[in-house]
Amino acid sequence: MPQDGSNDRGRTPPVDRRTILRSLSLGGLLGSTGLASASTTPGGDSGPRKDELLVGVSESVSDVRGAVRSAAPANAEIGRTNDAIYYATVSFPSDAPDRAREQFVEAVTRFDEVEYVEPNATIEAIGEPDDPYYDSQHAPQQIGCETAWETTLGDDDVVVAVVDQGIQYDHPTLAGTIDDRHGEDFVRSGSEPYPASDEERHGTHVGAIAAGETDNATGHAGISNCSLLSVRALDESGRGSLSDIADAIQWAADAGADVVNLSLGTGDDYATLANACEYARDRGCLLVGAAGNEGADGVMYPAAYEDVIGVSAVDENDSIAAFSNRGTGIDLAAPGTRLVSAVPWDGYARMSGTSMAAPVVSGVAGLVRSAYPDLSREALQEHLQETAVDVGLDADAQGHGRVDAGAAVTTDPYPDSDEGSGGDGESSGECGDETITASADGELSGGWWGESDRYSYPLYTSDPCSVTLTLEGPADADFHLYVTLDGRSPSRWDYDEGSAESGASESISVSLSGDEDLGIQVHADTGSGAYTLTVRERGQ
């Protein structure tokens, strides 16, 4: 969110090794971990789509389009669907009266499968730059990057995704850090995530703050040399639809992003945006959001979500920037005034805003992930907050403090253990120091045949040695658990390991060689209700 003195507002968003569970059944609960896990088509009509509604359905729905189609009138058009975060867009003929839309909302919310209906609102990057480029910087020095860089400049295995405008990924300062996949464009169908015009500068500036190549004798110094993914969800004007941004966040998570930067915002809370952030969080992504540039109390969404690190902006003297929003949703502060970074085409400029502060934190998160690759998302966020510097501001202005790259990289996040714990505070045991945990929630009914949900689990630790599967079901039902070790779909008669005692809790522990690809079945014999399946993998 760059700041130019205006009162702009906006809002309404190969496979990740941390995307753990993949559903094999049509009624799967977590969707696919592949890049096509949502049945969406990136792009389509460019920019905001104010006449569309978003209809969100329950995770138990196996056919999102069919469920919304059955609830919609004949003259309503079902557009894109997202089977990972469970929504579909609905539009009406241009000559349809307003009452038709009102009646649709009233009717569709009566269906048990429908959880919400909301407008396909517009989210914006706030403002445009108005300062010339000066051959100097203060942000890296201010947050101790020189100290951090003695340990790591950033590993190219660590991916920072920027959901924003397009990024000039062949810019001299970005050509060495851009991910080989470049990214995805959700505004222009079939196009690479590249700026469309000279006016589209925000994405490049934000991306180059987080991951502009350092120590290459070119341009400015970005915070990290981590890999950069450009996920274009905002158009040339800096505006984008809620559905594009939600799909972009989901895509970034499935593409393997360790960090997702969200320098965009809205004053309103939307279920579709919240669901997209939750989806990314559950897949191990650290989300970083800009607090807003209105100089007001109240943090904009998505930064205000608990799943997202909300970032305020301070100046080079660590005073809160006049334009920066404040509030209980602030988790960290970062430099955000007159930051030097890249802009199209092969240029550099100064920009100010919480949009600039957020990628400073994203870049530092990338450095920490590079130094401590086994930190969980939760542990990474806690470490950034615990190593932040108290600069004397109120908590609603600085949160836990101003981010400090030097302290974050050089401070041991495992002070009570000789080996890393995977970030969960527990010893990782003799298997090694890498631990990955994932869970899925579902609901099944038993009976003469009973219902089943099936999942697949590819191994993600560097040298897998064991996995424990735990099932917790309702106390008045018999839920059973089965697993195969070669990826085939298990049944009650065809499995390698099973736990089918009479009861609500089941557990299976399996030793691994690293060649396995697990298939999992949850089956209800009697009773009905919700269950939680947890998979905990350990490796070297």
Secondary structure in 3-state letters for 292-304: CCCCCECCCECCC
What pLDDT is attached to residue 446? Answer: 81
Cβ neighbours, 10 Å, residue 88: 26
Query: What is the rounded CA–CA span in Å between residue 410 and residue 422?
Result: 17
Model pLDDT for residues 367-379, shown as the tens digit of each residue: 999 999 888 888 8
Active-site residue flag, 523: no
pLDDT digits 0-9 by tens, 238-271: 898 999 999 999 999 999 999 999 999 998 999 9
Q: pLDDT tens-digit profile of 47-87? A: 445 578 888 888 888 888 888 887 777 777 888 888 888 89
* Alpha-carbon distance values, 304 to 70, 231, 459 (Å): 35, 21, 33
CATH code: domain 22-120 is 3.30.70
CB 419 within 8 A of CB 374: no
pLDDT in tens, 448-499: 677 888 888 888 887 888 888 888 888 788 888 889 988 888 877 778 888 8
**What is the residue-wise DSSP string for 375-407?**
--HHHHHHHHHHT-B--S--HHHHTT-B--HHH
Q: Shortest CA distance to 532 belongs to which of 21, 103, 127, 10?
A: 21
Crossing angle of the two packed helices 354-371 and 202-211, in degrees rounded to 10: 30
Say which of 16, 164, 258, 433 is annotated catalytic.
Answer: 164
Three-state DSSP state, 54: strand
Inter-CA distances, 34 with 16, 30, 230, 392, 455, Å: 8, 12, 18, 45, 14
- Cα–Cα distance, 202 to 196 (Å, whole number): 12
Phi, psi of 509 (to 5 degrees): -120, 135
Cα–Cα distance, 282 to 439 (Å, whole number)? 8
Question: Above 70 in pLDDT, residue 306?
Answer: yes
Choosing from 202, 383, 400, 480, the catalytic residue is 202
For residue 158, the SS3 value is: coil
The model's pLDDT over 438-453, given as tens digits with 9 standing for 90+, comes to 888 888 888 767 788 8
pLDDT value at position 501? 65
Considering 60-64, 127-131, 183-187, the range whose residues carry the highest mean pLDDT is 183-187
**What is the rounded CA–CA span in Å between residue 203 and residue 234?**
9
- pLDDT band for 276, please (50, 70, 90 cuts): very high
Residue 202 annotated among the catalytic residues of the structure:
yes
Is the whole-model pTM more than 0.85? no
- Residue 376: name the closest of 252, 161, 537 by CA: 537
pLDDT above 70 coverage of the chain, percent:
83
d(CA 528, CA 444): 6
| CA separation for the pair 299, 265 (Å, rounded) | 9
Domain segments of the chain: what residues? 22-120, 129-410, 434-539
Q: 129-410 domain in CATH 3.40.50.300? A: no
Residue 84 near residue 93, CB atoms below 8 Å: no
CATH 1.10.3720.10 fits 434-539, yes or no: no
Annotated catalytic residue, options 312, 355, 370, 456: 355
Which residue intervals of 319-431 are DSSP H helices?
Answer: 354-371, 377-386, 395-398, 405-410
pLDDT at 503: 67
Tokens standing for 109? Answer: 């919310």
- What is the SS3 assignment for 445? strand
